Structure 1
Amino acid sequence: MAAVKSCSVCLRESTLQFPRPNRGDHYKRTSAEDIKSLRLITAIKTPYLPDGRFDLEAYDALVNVQIVNGAEGVIVGGTTGEGQLMSWDEHIMLIGHTVNCFGSSVKVIGNTGSNSTREAIHATEQGFAVGMHAALHINPYYGKTSLEGMVSHFDCVLPMGPTIIYNVPSRTGQDIPPRVIHTIAQSPNLAGVKECVGNDRVEQYTDKGIVVWSGNDDQCHDARWSHGATGVISVTSNLIPGLMRKLMFEGKNSELNSKLLPLIDWLFQEPNPIALNTALAQLGVVRPVFRLPYVPLPLAKRVEFLNLVKKIGRENFVGEKNVQVLDDDDFILIARFKPKPVHAKGRIALWQKVEKKAYNLCGKLIEL
């Protein structure tokens, strides 16, 4: 597959650009049926700059390598992508950026769920407005609600477009039982369920014709080939997309699954995305920057990852640099954004540069 060109540079050059709209496939209305067939969806990591802002250049490279290695969809701003640490402005910007740069090559599924129905409605409206193909919705967490409240919550967001419901009781504190899913399955916009309860639950749904993606990487092989799951929404594919594609596309492969289980166990020894963030920094594909409250794994665990990479083969992992252990001092922990100050002289120079670009652009438009 051909690599996709990064869009980060064009975003940094100037805000005063008027590109012709790219009326590609990602601008066509996506249906739930288009989402139901996806076998490998990566819950993509969000990398950061040392001041805490998004590192869009590194992000584009991460998404691109997923596409090149056969991922069919990405979850933007999910748990792995640290949507819980983003403002809604950041969240929607990243969804829009992903659609603009990669929407013709991969399905962009925006995590616009919330424990507040009002927020979920607003975020989902914005997500579809910037072009996402589908929404990911969790059940209201912490405060929880009744089963009837869950149904009402999902009924408010489902009419907006294709939707994947995400059930992860270990994080929300409340299971979404089959009764709720069977009720909302009447909506034509329900693409399916990301299910983390286990493969018995997966089979309950697939037997009824409801599409399911395994939310547990350690169970996804059996979910796919023995319990009827369509595929997986994966964390591990951030690191080894080609091998995860093989696991989902090429039939039952217990040998490969067993080979990958030690890596998967390592990834989930602490709450996700702590280990993934650590691993990607060790591979040199993201800066070793963490938004608190996430912190890197300790030295001994980083050494374990180095050995796992050697055992599985460096060529199967993302990036091209040698894997490193990294020192504790190499990691940067961000509690608040710390953008570099722009002094008055710098502001004037920047504004003059923007004015000049705008003037030249207006001249070209007049000529047209």
Structure 2
Amino acid sequence: MALLADYGICSREAGAGVLSVGPDRPSADAYKRWWTGRWRSPVAAVIPNFHLPMRGLELKNRTTTEDIKKLRLITAVKTPYLPDGRFDLEAYDSLINMQIDNGAEGVIVGGTTGEGQLMSWDEHIMLIGHTVNCFGTEIKVIGNTGSNSTREAVLATEQGFAVGMHAALHINPYYGKTSLQGLVHHFESVLTMGPTIIYNVPSRTGQDIPPPVIKTLSQNLNMAGVKECVGNDRIKGYSEEGIVTWSGNDDQCHDARWTFGASGVISVASNLVPGLVRDLMFQGKNPSLNSKLMPLIEWLFREPNPIGLNTALAQLGVARPVFRLPYVPLPLERRVEFVNIVQKLGRENLVGDKDVRVLDDDDFTLVSRY
């Protein structure tokens, strides 16, 4: 009760000054004097989340923010499906094992590439928990628990850390955009819970997270850094300020890493060529390898991600050709083009051990109920 009183919710102490409701009740003036003397309006527009269990002092996760800052290759991993649209966990586990075997240090679970936007929150948290349970000692699990609703972001992040994720990925509120001050309050509401990567991709959210917001948030010890998609000039500015960044653009990640100061990349292409992308991030400047990968990267992003990736993994035989709508496979001519790209890169450099093939339109399943 005392705690609530601090926020103006409890207006008087128990048993004190109760007004009579009978015929002898005070006059209106007396009532006004009593009420004015006893009640005060809440003064804070934002009430601290004192009720959240994740604000306890006990250690919730043994991964520190510094551990996350050291990561160089993080794969935004694909979520594969069964023909009825449910998660294909057997294929998913195989994809994660391929990432571990080829040197990826972390995975984003349920991000844009993993189609978190097509998941219920139950599916979302289940997949994060499954990944932690099966692979959490071998690779860092970063759960996408962001939302355009602060309430949803807080609840999902609380649950994500409760099931053991090592860090959270958070987008800025999309569609229902807010002010810059609103962005700060939104992110501060989730930063209290554990290591966090802020994700800036204005092409999807419709709103840039400008440097002043990031610099304000960087004062929080739980902020690991920024997945930045605006470009390498922005990354250079952050690196000069000592703010950790990961390139969110595969086509720019080589220069971001070796010229502009990025710590690494959060990659889509590494779903397909994790070993080569690791070399790009760890082996120093390698413009020849970067140029070699560019046809694949350009092919991947001709249509909005993850359409290209989903098509490619199906053609490689490492995921079933099942799409949750509204995503649909690339057209036949693009599928033929992918086979040619694989042959030039060398099949051994891509995930899986089956021959790459051109799938027919009838090979794909499109699921609208999932």
Cα distance, 1:28 vs structure 2:
4.7
Q: What residue is the counterpart of 1:49 in the other structure?
A: 82
1:90-101 equivalences in 2 (<5 Å): 90-101=123-134
Q: Specify the SS of the correspondent of 1:151.
A: helix
Cα distance, 1:30 vs structure 2:
1.2
TM-score normalized by structure 1? 0.84
1:89 and 2:111 aligned: no
Cα distance, 1:215 vs structure 2:
0.1
Which amino acid letter does the alignment assign opposite residue 270 of structure 1?
E
Distance 1:28 1:48 in 2: 30
2:167 to 110, 134, 153: 134
1:205 and 2:211 aligned: no
Larger Rg: 2
Q: Work out whether residues 61 and 161 of structure 2, in 8 Å CA contact, stay in contact via their aligned partners in 1.
A: no
- Divergent runs of 4+, >6 A: none
2:177 to 144, 149, 154: 144
1:176 and 2:209 aligned: yes
**Aligned residue pair count:** 312
Q: What residue is the counterpart of 1:252 in the other structure?
A: 285
1:106 and 2:139 aligned: yes
Percent identity between the two aligned chains: 79
1:262 and 2:295 aligned: yes
Q: What residue is the counterpart of 2:339 in the other structure?
A: 306
1:186-201 equivalences in 2 (<5 Å): 186-201=219-234
Distance 2:148 2:62 in 1: 27
1:22-41 equivalences in 2 (<5 Å): 28-41=61-74
Which amino acid letter does the alignment assign opposite residue 151 of structure 2?
R
Which amino acid letter does the alignment assign opposite residue 210 of structure 1?
I
Structure 1 stretches lacking a partner, 5+ long: 1-26, 338-368
1:316 and 2:353 aligned: no
Q: What residue is the counterpart of 1:215 in the other structure?
A: 248
Q: Work out whether residues 83 and 322 of structure 2, in 8 Å CA contact, stay in contact via their aligned partners in 1.
A: yes
Distance 2:262 2:99 in 1: 21
Please list the CA deviations of residues 148-172 of structure 1 after superposition, one character each: whole Å capped at 9, or x if unmatched: 0000000100000000000000000
Distance 2:355 2:155 in 1: 43
Q: Specify the SS of the correspondent of 1:34.
A: helix
Distance 2:188 2:231 in 1: 25
Structure 2 stretches lacking a partner, 5+ long: 1-59
Distance 2:117 2:315 in 1: 24
1:333-352 equivalences in 2 (<5 Å): 333-337=366-370
Distance 1:262 1:324 in 2: 18
Q: What residue is the counterpart of 1:5 in the other structure?
A: none
Distance 1:30 1:284 in 2: 34
Cα distance, 1:29 vs structure 2:
1.9
Cα distance, 1:32 vs structure 2:
0.6
Q: CA RMSD in A?
A: 0.9
Q: Specify the SS of the correspondent of 2:192.
A: helix
Cα 1:139–1:312 change in 2 (3 A) is: same
1:123 to 147, 156, 175: 156
TM-score normalized by structure 2? 0.84
Which amino acid letter does the alignment assign opposite residue 166 of structure 2?
H
